[in-house]
A and B are shown apart, each in its own frame.
Chain A
Amino acid sequence: MTRPRRDPRAERAAIRVPDRDGARPRYDRSARRPGGGRPRRDPRAERAGQRVAGPLRLRYDLGQVAPAEGPVRAEPAQRTAAPTILTVEAPDFLVVAVPDMAGGRLSAHDRQVLGAARILAGREGGVAVLAVGAGAGYGSAGADRLISLDDDPDAYDPAGRAARIAATLAALKPRHVLFPETLDGGDLARRVAVRMREPLFGNAEGLSPTGLIRPARGRSIEQRAAPGLLATIAPEAVAEYAGPPREARLLPVEIDASMRGAQEITQEILSAIRIPADPATVPLGLAEFVAAAGNGVTDLDTFRRLVAVLRATPGASRVLCDAGLMPRQTQVGASGTVLAATCYLALGISGAPQHLQGVAGCEHVVAVNTDLHAAMIERAGLAIVQDAQLIMPALLRLLGQEAGDPGDAA
């Protein structure tokens, strides 16, 4: 939906008549103006394209951007050359980032740590990512080198892993080493710091090549220091690397055989079992996936069954809690719980501002509501205008079929 933007200078240069005497420029104004320059929106044509055909009165479908008739020239397709991979052949020094790699993937926080390492490395240095197990996307996150740590990603042996990381760092002699300030990353950083007898600059919230900044004394002061060997980076403090991808070349590291402890395992740990959160009892504020009912849900038994089958944590709007239909601790919103969930499924909730405050932090929202103009429908990534009392049994039926339950499949 763009039309070319005029470039008066180029237009005039194109119609300039080659002069004979050179006394003054002459132009041939009879020629048609050539187009060129940057593309530009044409609001009139856009509007015309949204016009819904109908006899009675003008109607526009504002939800779509339809192609307009008329001489609207398409935006010249930007030629996307294959991004060239940046290489640093012989870095002056290395900055090592040690991501958490929870679930074998780089998290957003991990990428921020790589972004911070990139800032400290500057033009001369190289960023090396020290990762356990295989993973992908290190290059686009800003890593020039990849050091693969020979370790079991599923075993719980933080002391052993810290020993292996410390041995690798001793062989590598990097200038800086950065960890994410998460439960695992912060733990690992402190173990490595104690093991290497190096000070740790924890929870850095500000970062530049000349200094790191961290809060202290209950955020009444901040401490600033030149970047040392070890630091942890707070979440949402440094932007991810956004430049062209880098090569993430595998860098083999020879660990000195005399480095004691590189192979040790913690004998005292007898077992470590991961217990996933039970969605039915997890506090609402910690839940990953919340399914909530509002005033539009009358069939609460079906709702409760649906929540159990979806393995979601139940939530409710204030109306239902006030009416005593749902327990008070399930209330979502300003006077209830503010969620930090990944996904929020809202059934029959209008989306009052007090309720939406509680949902503000949710990444994805799915809404079912009979009212097309409800605020919840607007907030949702998937919005369904339909009766919740029809959708809930349909969901149960489908989930039952998937589970191969012959009783529900009928």
Chain B
Amino acid sequence: MKIAILLSAGRHPVSGAAVLPRLEAQAIRLAAGLGQHIGLHAGPEAAVVAEALGQGLAHIQHAALPEEADPVPALATCLAALAPDLVLAGRRGQGGAETGIVPYAVADRLGYPLIPDIIAAAPGEEAGTLHLDQSLGRGARRRVTIRGPVVATVHPDAPASFAYAYGQARRGVIEPVVGALAPHPAPVPAVEERPYRRRPKLVKGAPAGSSAAERLKAATGEAGPASSGRLLVRPDPDEAAREILAHLRRIGVLAAPRDPR
């Protein structure tokens, strides 16, 4: 199986230093168990993705583009030439606009289906099919069987990336894509930028337009279930057990009893 991994130029969220985005490092790990894999980056500099070599990627293709060009047409052209069975990308970039639209645009151009937020991948029983496990949050997953080629984005719950190995980084190669790729200017979004300002999170449970006293109650948990808390002092154990089960069922964490006959 042939796998292409889309590598973007990431920035560390705290220091701002150039790093390989975490999700793309996890994508390398997912691909390592599946077959032959190759990295793909479209951008002005190849050095920014060199870290991926040390994470176990032996081979990276680099499509040189000017700074402000749209990477999507170049990525689609390279992928069409590579003809992989699976294209892996991060669910969001890191350190850029973080819109997560690039994989969707690439899949749309290639006419491939897209499966978002995968945490595991395995080849299917039939040739040319794949089992992709999608995260649904809270540990639940959806196993999608799909006929390739397919674009998939990686969720943070996927297995952690391999450790960086210096020897691998030395052995790996970054090869420029031959053939001129016409740079398309990216659509300039009409946004105004300014330093980030933290906004207060909504206080859960406080109705909009509530008074300060109500917000304080909601924040300290007094307004929640604790305010109406039930206290049973020295109850009969069976009675208490019935109360607990009824309470758990009201909340919805415990399934209702099977039909009581």
Interface size class of B (residues with CB under 8 A): 35 or more
CA distance A312 to B253 in the complex (A): 9
Q: Does A147 contact B (CB under 8 A)?
A: no
State how many angstroms separate the Cβ of A396 from the closest Cβ of chain B: 9
Closest chain A residue, CB of each to CB of B149: A268
Closest chain A residue, CB of each to CB of B97: A216
Of the candidates B138, B142, B196, the one whose C-beta lies within 8 Å of that of A288 is B138
> With A194-B101, A215-B196, A225-B190 known to touch, is A383 a contact of B230 (CB < 8 Å)?
yes
Q: Does A379 contact B (CB under 8 A)?
A: yes
State how many angstroms separate the Cβ of B149 from the closest Cβ of chain A: 9
> With A206-B199, A343-B251, A391-B244 known to touch, is A277 a contact of B140 (CB < 8 Å)?
yes
The answer to whether B238 touches A394 (Cβ under 8 A) is yes
Per-position binary interface string of chain B over residues 128-159, scored 1 when its CB falls under 8 Å from any chain A CB and 0 otherwise:
01000101111111111111101000010100
Instruction: Please indicate the chain A residues that have their CB under 8 angstroms from the CB of B167 in the complex.
Output: none
Task: Give the most central of B14, B94, B100, B194: most A CB within 10 Å.
Answer: B100
Instruction: Please indicate the chain A residues that have their CB under 8 angstroms from the CB of B251 in the complex.
Output: 342-343, 363-364
> With A270-B147, A403-B258 known to touch, is A183 a contact of B247 (CB < 8 Å)?
no
Q: Does A289 contact B (CB under 8 A)?
A: yes
| Chain A residues within 8 Å of chain B by Cβ, number | 93
Q: Does B81 contact A (CB under 8 A)?
A: no
CA distance A223 to B193 in the complex (A): 5
The answer to whether A385 touches B113 (Cβ under 8 A) is no
> With A216-B96, A221-B195, A403-B257 known to touch, is A242 a contact of B241 (CB < 8 Å)?
no
State how many angstroms separate the Cβ of A101 from the closest Cβ of chain B: 14
State how many angstroms separate the Cβ of B232 from the closest Cβ of chain A: 5
Of the candidates A190, A268, A269, A342, the one whose C-beta lies within 8 Å of that of B253 is A342
Per-position binary interface string of chain A over residues 385-410, scored 1 when its CB falls under 8 Å from any chain B CB and 0 otherwise:
11100110111011100111000000
The answer to whether A268 touches B108 (Cβ under 8 A) is no
State how many angstroms separate the Cβ of A368 from the closest Cβ of chain B: 8
The answer to whether A385 touches B232 (Cβ under 8 A) is yes
In the complex, 28 of the A-B residue pairs with CB atoms within 8 angstroms, ordered by the A residue number, are A156-B142, A156-B144, A190-B101, A190-B104, A202-B100, A216-B98, A217-B97, A218-B98, A219-B196, A220-B16, A221-B194, A223-B189, A224-B192, A237-B199, A237-B202, A242-B207, A266-B113, A268-B150, A269-B113, A277-B140, A363-B225, A365-B225, A381-B228, A382-B230, A383-B232, A384-B240, A398-B241, A403-B257
| 19 new A-B contacts at CB < 8 Å, known A108-B204, A268-B148, A287-B138 | A63-B231, A183-B137, A190-B101, A191-B104, A202-B98, A215-B196, A218-B13, A224-B194, A236-B202, A238-B202, A271-B144, A273-B142, A286-B138, A310-B254, A343-B253, A379-B221, A397-B241, A398-B242, A399-B245
Across the A-B interface, the 6 shortest Cβ-Cβ residue pairs: A277-B139, A218-B13, A381-B225, A282-B139, A394-B241, A402-B257
